[in-house]
Amino acid sequence: MTDLKAKIPEGPLAEKWTRFKGNQKLVNPANKRKLDVIVVGSGLAGASAAASLGELGFNVKVFCYQDSTRRAHSIAAQGGINAAKNYPNDGDSVWRLFHDTIKGGDYRSREANVYRLAEVSGNIIDQCVAQGVPFAREYGGLLDNRSFGGAQVSRTFYARGQTGQQLLLGAYSALSRQVNKGSLEVFARTEMLDLVVVDGKARGIITRDLATGEIQRHSAHAVVVASGGYGNVFFLSTNAMGSNASAAWQCFKKGACFANPAYAQIHPTCIPVHGSFQSKLTLMSESLRNDGRIWVPKNKEDAEKIRKGTLKPTDLKEEDRDYYLERRYPAFGNLVPRDVASRAAKERCDAGYGVGTGLAVYLDFADAINRLGRDVIEARYGNLFQMYEKITDENPYETPMMIYPAIHYTMGGIWVDYELQTTVPGLFAIGEANFSDHGANRLGASALMQGLADGYFVLPYTIQNYLADEIKTPRLETSHPAFDEAEKAISERIDQLFSIQGTKSVDSFHKRLGAVMWDFVGMARNKEGLQQAIDQIVQIKKDFWSDVRIPGDKSELNPELEKAGRVADFIELGELMARDALQREESCGGHFREEYQTEEGEALRNDDQYRYVGAWEYKGADQEPVLHKEDLIFEYIQVKQRNYK
C-alpha cells in the first residue's frame, strides 16, 4: 500500500525551507564524485538541475529526444517569469506571490511547496542575470517588470516575447559549461523508454538512440524526471510536436503515483484552429492582455455578419461591443486568471457570439495604439504581432487579433513530496513533470519560475538528503537482471508495434484521442461525458493495438515508431485523466464540472470532500488504478471562493 508522505518540515511556514536546509543530510565532495545522477529532459527544470548537480560534483547524464538540449519546449515560453523582487515598489512580497499562487491554483496546492517557490523566486532572477540573460531594462539600466493574470502587482521579468528562450539558453550555457568540465554527459536524440528499479529504488533507465534505433542501458544512483507535461494527449495543443508523457508514464507503471491528471490548463489566447490538417496550436502570450482588450459583438446579428464577412470588426461601434471580461470581472478585467478567461470565451462562443469560424473572440489593440502610439506597442509585442501575421495573414495593428482557448499546460503530474521525490525512492520529478506547485490552475509566468526553482534551488539540496544514504552503494552494472528484464520488455513492445501491420497511421489514432479528450475532458466536463470518454478511449486503445501501421524499420531513424510509443502512452494517460475528472465531483481551476457551478457560472469547489491531491497508483495492465488521497491542510491561508470581480 502506497503511503503519501508529504514530508513537510515542522515549524512556521516562512522557516520551513531554512529549517529543512539546516537539518538535511549532505554529501561531501569526495563522495559526490562516486555518485551518478540521470536527468531526463533538458528544459528549464532539467537543464538547470543537471548544470547545478554537475557543479556540485555529481556525475550527471542528461537525456533529451531533441537533437540538442537547447531545443526543449521551455524555449517557446513567451511572456515572462514571476519573482517577488518588488523592484517596482508596488506592494509585492514573498507572501503575496505565495498567496496569489495558492489562490490562482484554486486552493489545490501545498502551502509549504508554494511558499518555498515564492521564497526562492528572487534568486532565480539574480542567477539568470549573472549568466547574461538579457532581460528587458529601463533607461536607468535596471530591470523592467510587467503584469500578468491573477496578480495586481507587476512582478514579471521578461526578455521581449522570448523569455523562455533566453532563460533556457542561460541554463543550456550552464549545462554546456559542465560538459566542458567533464562532469556532465549529454545524450541528445535519445528517448527514455523505461525506468529500472532495483530493490525498490530507481537505479537506471533504458533508452533508444533515435538516430540508430539502438537500445541502451544507463545506471545511476538517482533518476530525475524533467520531461515536461502531457498536453499533447489532446493532439492539438501549444506543446511541441515531440512533447510527450512517456517518461512520466513509464515511472507511473514502475510505481510512481500520478497526481491530479485531470488538471489541464486551457490557455485563453491562442490562434484559433483553421483546418483538419493542423498540426499544432500557437499561443499568443498572456502579456498581450496587459494592453489588449477582449471582446465579442454585443448582438448576435452582428456576430453573424462578421462571421459571413459582411461586417468588419473595426466598423462595429463601441457601444455594440461586449468587453465581457471587463464587464464580468471589473477588478481584474482582461487580466483574470487563465481558466476564468478561457471559460468566459467558451461561454460567449457557445452562446453564438463568436467570430471567425464561430470559435474565436477578439483581442483588440486599437485603444492601446491610440493611447500609447504604434511604436510603443511594437516595442512591447512586435515579434508576437509578426508571428500572428505570418500565421493568419492578418495585420493585428489594423484589425483585432482573433483568439480562442487551447490546451497549454498540465498542472497534474508525478506525485512528489516536499523533497521532490516520488513514491519510488531515488526517483525525483521536477518542473511541469511533477504536480506540486500550481494546484488546479497555473498563473501566467509561473511555469518558468517553478522549472528553474526546482532545478537551481530545490532539487540540488533535496536530492542530497537521499544520496547521502547511497554513498556506500556501488555503481550498478548494466548487466544486472533488472536491466535484462526491462530491455526485453521494451524490445517486445517495439516488435509488437511492428507486427500489427494495420491500416491506419499513428496520427489518425492520436487525432481520434484528441477529439474525445477535447469534447469530454476539455474546458467543460460532466459525468455522462466522462464515462463516454472512458468507453471511447478503451475502444481507441483496442483499435490502435490491432490496426496501427508503422512503416520502416526499428534500427533506423523512424519518427512513426517514436510517435507510436508516445501515442500508446497518451491513450492510457487520457483514460486516467477522464477517471480523475470523473471522481472529482467539484469544479476547481482548470477542472470544470458542469454539474458544479455557481449561479453566475463560476467554478464551485467542494472543500469538505475534495480538498485533497488525488494520486493514482498503477496496479497492472488489466487492473483499475487505485486512488490515494493526500489531504491539503491550509494553516496560513484562508480558503475562499476565488473572486476576481
Applying CB under 8 A, which of residues 17, 329, 415, 456 lies at the interface with other proteins?
456
Does residue 173 interact with other proteins by CB under 8 A?
yes
- The footprint of other proteins on residues 300-359 (CB under 8 A) is none
**Cβ at position 387, least distance to other proteins in Å:** 7
**Cβ at position 289, least distance to other proteins in Å:** 19
**Cβ at position 557, least distance to other proteins in Å:** 4
At 211, phi and psi to the nearest 5? -75, -35
Strand partners, 196: 204
**Cβ at position 529, least distance to other proteins in Å:** 29
Of the ranges 132-140, 342-350, 466-474, 566-574, which one interacts with other proteins (CB under 8 A)? Answer: 132-140
DSSP string, 212-228: T--EEEEE-SEEEE---
Copy the grid coordinates of residue 597.
457551478
Q: What is the DSSP letter of 472?
A: T
Q: How far apart are CA 597 and CA 122, in angstroms?
A: 37
Closer Cβ to other proteins, 504 or 645, answer by number: 504
Closer Cβ to other proteins, 172 or 418, answer by number: 172
Copy the grid coordinates of residue 248.
512520466
Of the ranges 129-137, 325-333, 409-417, 628-636, which one interacts with other proteins (CB under 8 A)? Answer: 129-137
Q: How far apart are CA 602 and CA 580, in angstroms?
A: 21
Strand order in the sheet with 427-429: 184-187, 59-63, 36-40, 222-225, 427-429
- The footprint of other proteins on residues 9-28 (CB under 8 A) is none
Applying CB under 8 A, which of residues 4, 39, 48, 153 lies at the interface with other proteins?
48
Copy the grid coordinates of residue 89.
515598489
**Cβ at position 62, least distance to other proteins in Å:** 12
Block residue for cell numbers 515598489 = 89
Q: How far apart are CA 304 and CA 293, in angstroms?
A: 21
- Cβ neighbours for 333, distance < 8 A, ≥ 6 positions apart: 325, 326
Pairing assessment for the beta strands 361-364 and 401-410 based on DSSP bridges: antiparallel
Torsion (CA) 195, 197, 203, 207 in degrees, nearest 10: -20
Applying CB under 8 A, which of residues 4, 174, 306, 411 lies at the interface with other proteins?
174
Contact (CB, 8 A) for 135 and 79 = no
Q: What is the DSSP letter of 445?
A: T
Please work out, in degrees rounded to the nearest 5, the angle formed at the alpha carbon of residue 41 by the alpha carbons of 37 and 42.
Answer: 95
Closer Cβ to other proteins, 14 or 76, answer by number: 76
Contact (CB, 8 A) for 107 and 413 = no
Does residue 159 interact with other proteins by CB under 8 A?
yes
Closer Cβ to other proteins, 4 or 169, answer by number: 169
**Cβ at position 398, least distance to other proteins in Å:** 18
Does residue 460 interact with other proteins by CB under 8 A?
yes
Binding marks (x or -) toward other proteins, 517..556, rule CB under 8 A?
A: --------------------------------x-xx---x
Applying CB under 8 A, which of residues 331, 376, 391, 489 lies at the interface with other proteins?
391
Does residue 588 interact with other proteins by CB under 8 A?
no
**Judged by CB under 8 A, how many residues of this single chain contact other proteins?**
81
Closer Cβ to other proteins, 319 or 393, answer by number: 393
The count of C-alpha atoms lying within 13 angstroms of the C-alpha of 493, restricted to the half-sphere facing its C-beta, is 18
Closer Cβ to other proteins, 167 or 533, answer by number: 167
Copy the grid coordinates of residue 46.
532539467
Q: What is the DSSP letter of 217?
A: E
One-letter identity of residue 592: F
Applying CB under 8 A, which of residues 12, 199, 279, 621 lies at the interface with other proteins?
279
Of the ranges 118-126, 340-348, 429-437, 489-497, which one interacts with other proteins (CB under 8 A)? Answer: 118-126
Applying CB under 8 A, which of residues 160, 208, 321, 611 lies at the interface with other proteins?
160
Pairing assessment for the beta strands 222-225 and 36-40 based on DSSP bridges: parallel
- The footprint of other proteins on residues 476-515 (CB under 8 A) is 505, 507-508
**Cβ at position 553, least distance to other proteins in Å:** 9
- The footprint of other proteins on residues 206-225 (CB under 8 A) is 211
Q: Where are the beta strands (DSSP E) in 76-125?
A: 81-82
SS (H, E, C) 253-302: HCCCCEECCCCEEEEEEECCCCCCCCCCCCECCHHHHHCCEEEEECCHHH
Q: How far apart are CA 74 and CA 446, in angstroms?
A: 12
Pairing assessment for the beta strands 215-219 and 413-414 based on DSSP bridges: unpaired
Q: How far apart are CA 428 and CA 594, in angstroms?
A: 35
Does residue 185 interact with other proteins by CB under 8 A?
no
Binding marks (x or -) toward other proteins, 224..243, rule CB under 8 A?
A: ----------------xxx-
Does residue 132 interact with other proteins by CB under 8 A?
yes
Does residue 71 interact with other proteins by CB under 8 A?
yes
Of the ranges 16-24, 62-70, 299-307, 535-543, which one interacts with other proteins (CB under 8 A)? Answer: 62-70
- The footprint of other proteins on residues 74-103 (CB under 8 A) is 75-76, 85, 87
